[in-house]
Structure 1
Amino acid sequence: MIEIYLLEQLVAFETYGTLSAAAEYLHISQPALSHSMQKLEELMGVPLFHRQKNRLALNENGRLTAEYARKILEQERDMVERVRLFDKSRRTITLGSCAPVPVSDIVPLLSGQYRGMTISSEIVNSDEELMEGLMKGSYQIVVLHHDPKKDGLYAVPFRRERLYLSVPEQHPLAEKDEIVLSDIDGQNILLFTQIGFWYEFCKEKLPHVHFLMMNEFDAFSEVAEAGSFPSFASDVLLRQNGMPEGKKIVPILDPEVDVTYYLVCKTTDQKLFQPVFRRLHTIK
């Protein structure tokens, strides 16, 4: 039986090309690595190396063995990750969301339905990363801002969110009753960074904006309320928190600022999460 550490050392040798470089990477002595390579060769029952004075190199057998070793090590890492995720999923439901607002919608539904389970959530900047996490088991359920339209997934739309611009009353943009994104480009805009895909959206659609970035929400709220810079406002939060004093809320006409969120799980988990999907109509 070939032990995993021998395969790891073989791959290191192939990668670094010499015993000394591989031993340094592995934090072991060069004689210890040489002994391991001899042991692996004996276990395989075929020569794996060309041996010359002061030089060791893989032969064709060795290169093929290293190729298989890489695959085995990748499968071993995948096995460990999947088993750990499976164990975690028995005790924890992890929600991945593309934006903050859906987290405050969905986490209470999950907490109410699955008492005794730990509910955790993460905000991720892209639907693609969320889909990858859902398929791998890092998330049991996700919120996307596009309908995935993919076999093996169950998706239900449940919430819309629209961006507005919150502008100090003395700011030139306050003279406008509506704007498009190009009206904002080139301005100084205060931006909270922990907003999921909206962050990437702002960076992509407004390449010439001078963003004043903040990653602490309380500090951002304080500066946005009292400061002289425009910032983005969500219609959802405006309904919940009311209109800010001393600001004009200007509609943005571009259709991209109006998004629909979808709650998504694997079809194999549809029955498990059906009580949550049934309660989506209660979200306002």
Structure 2
Amino acid sequence: MIEMYLLEQLVAFAQTGTLSGASEKLHISQPALSNSMKKIEDILGVSLFERKSNRLVLNENGKLAVKLAEDILAREREMEERIRRLDRSRHTITIASCAPVPLWNLAPMIAEIYDGMAVSSQLFKNNEEIIKGVKDGAYTIGVIHGDVQGDEDIEKMPFGKEKLFLVVPYEHPLAQKDKITGKDIDGQNLLLYSNIGFWYSLVKKELPNAHFLMMDDYDVFGSIAETEAFPSFVTDASLQERAAPKGKKILEIDESYATTEYHLIWQKKNYSFLKPLIEKSH
């Protein structure tokens, strides 16, 4: 029987092409690695290498062994992940969301309904990763923007809307307007908080000529947005949580992309477990 560590070492040798490279990658001595390669050959009873000028080169047997070793190691990782995922699902409800705002409503509902279970969430910038994560079982429930194409494994339901606005100082030229378009904004210097899920990708895509001052710290972002002259984005949902900054005007963005509808998605097989949450979310 070939132990997993031997397969890992064989794959590392194939990836680096030399014993020295593999030993450096694995942080083991070159003689120890050489002994491991000989041990694999002894277990299989075949030669895996051609020895040329004091270096090893994989022969056809070796190339096949590497391919099969990669498959075995991948299956081992999959096994570990699936077992951990199952255990995690018994204690934790995981959420993959495309934006922060849906989590504000979803996480408290889950905590109330599923007393004693932990709630874990992660933001993504696109629907594809969320859908894949839910289908693979990595996440109990997902929140996507817009709609999702029909899928026999996935169920969905609407989960509210959110609209994007621009906040500008009253001294800013755009403050003369009540509604603005993307053309008005494109080319402006804009303050942007980066951890906003798909909104980040959307504004970068729709405003290719804008100059963004990126902020990763929300408290710092809020402080600068309130006190500095940079225009920044806000949504109707966030305005319900806190008032608009003093001395600033909120401008409606008259573009279809500025409004999104969220959907909850989940695996059909999880409906019974999620039914209380789904009914409360209607």
TM-score range, shorter chain: over 0.9
Deviations 1:103-161 (A, max 9, x none): 00100110010000011212221111212222233211111002222220111012000
Shift of 1:204: 1.1
- Equivalent position of 2:268 in the other structure: 267
Shift of 1:240: 3.9
Deviations 1:217-247 (A, max 9, x none): 2222222222222111211222343444322
- Equivalent position of 1:153 in the other structure: 154
CA contact (8 A) 1:96 1:143 kept: yes
Q: Distance in 2 between matches of 1:42 and 1:174?
A: 78
CA RMSD of aligned residues (A): 1.5
- Give the secondary structure class of the aligned counterpart of 2:179: coil
- Give the secondary structure class of the aligned counterpart of 1:93: strand
- Equivalent position of 1:5 in the other structure: 5
Cα gap change, 1:241 to 1:31, in 2 (>3 Å): closer
Cα gap change, 1:25 to 1:223, in 2 (>3 Å): closer
- Equivalent position of 2:70 in the other structure: 70
Q: Distance in 2 between matches of 1:12 and 1:216?
A: 39
Q: Distance in 2 between matches of 1:53 and 1:250?
A: 73
Greater displacement, 118-127 / 132-141: 132-141
Shift of 1:53: 4.5
- Give the secondary structure class of the aligned counterpart of 1:50: strand
Shift of 1:201: 0.9
Deviations 1:77-101 (A, max 9, x none): 1111221121111111111111111
State the number of aligned residues.
281
Greater displacement, 15-24 / 142-151: 15-24
Cα gap change, 1:242 to 1:52, in 2 (>3 Å): closer
- Give the secondary structure class of the aligned counterpart of 1:279: helix
Q: Distance in 2 between matches of 1:53 and 1:180?
A: 69
Q: Distance in 1 between matches of 2:47 and 2:276?
A: 61
Q: Distance in 2 between matches of 1:195 and 1:60?
A: 50
Following TM superposition, the consecutive aligned residue runs of length 4 or more in structure 1 with deviations greater than 4 angstroms are none
Q: Distance in 2 between matches of 1:81 and 1:259?
A: 34
Q: Match of 1:169, as an amino acid?
A: Y
- Give the secondary structure class of the aligned counterpart of 1:47: coil
Among all aligned residue pairs of Structure 1 and Structure 2, give the percentage whose two residues are the same amino acid: 48
> What runs of 5+ residues in structure 1 fail to find an aligned partner?
none
Shift of 1:17: 1.9
Matches within 5 A, 1:218-257: 218-257=219-258
> What runs of 5+ residues in structure 2 fail to find an aligned partner?
none
